[in-house]
Amino acid sequence: MDNQLNPLIKIDDAAGTARIDVRGSLTLASRPELMHQIRRVRRMGISSPITVDLSRAAFVESSALAGLRFDLNALDAGTHQVAAAGAPGVFLEVMPARDHAVAESRHDFTLTNPSELSQPLEEAGLRLLSDYSPDELLAASDAVFGMLDDPAGHSGHELLARYEAIGEEIARREPAEAAQKHASGS
């Protein structure tokens, strides 16, 4: 496998924004190069968030993505200690923007009411993530994360999207669960 990152860095001086588009592979071997590029852009004086677009990467290794998130959290923690205003952060895009994805994938796409989705999903034997129990969500997260390393037969971008959706549902529930635990503990 080719471990070349092939980053395309776009800096808009007028807006003070930066974007790094990864066109190659994000692997454990190429992750340090991406972190180097992020630090390099930050040293250029870009104080707004940097966007790292992985949506067009040839390959994204799940362990490299997890490691990248860990590295970015450590980078933000270090910046928080130095700057009183806080870290500007780095945004990771793992899917193409919705307007581009919809336009490219389906020309007949129409928005629908989420309640209208329940019946067809039930008929297909599927459920909304909001209907999963916490244990089922964690099991689904583990299963999808395990499949990310197996490029055969699975669309990497589709799996990343599923993994992100599960993570968002878990994150959405965390404040409510914490409040519930706090209320029951008082």
Least reliable range by pLDDT among 23-27, 33-37, 56-60, 161-165: 161-165
Model pTM above 0.75: no
Query: What pLDDT sits at residue 99?
Result: 45
Rg for the chain, CA atoms, rounded: 19
Query: What pLDDT sits at residue 118?
Result: 54
Long-range contacts of 112-121 (CB under 8 A, 24+ apart): none
Query: What pLDDT sits at residue 156?
Result: 62
Dihedral Cα 142, 144, 145, 149, nearest 10 deg: 140
* Surface-to-core class of residue 185, CB atoms within 10 Å of its CB (0-12 exposed, 13-18 middle, 19+ buried): exposed
pLDDT tens, residue by residue, 86-111 = 456 888 888 765 444 444 443 333 33
Specify the higher pLDDT residue, 124 or 3: 3
pLDDT tens, residue by residue, 28-41 = 999 999 999 999 98
Query: What pLDDT sits at residue 111?
Result: 38
Query: What pLDDT sits at residue 135?
Result: 84
Query: What's the Cα-to-Cα distance from 83 to each of 75, 77, 90, 122, 158, rounded to whole Å?
Result: 12, 10, 16, 50, 37
The residue whose two tokens read 């924004």 is 17
Query: What pLDDT sits at residue 35?
Result: 94
What residues form DSSP beta bridges with 12? 17
Residue 126 three-state SS: coil
**pLDDT at position 145 over 80:** no
Cα separation, 158 vs 38, in Å, equals 25
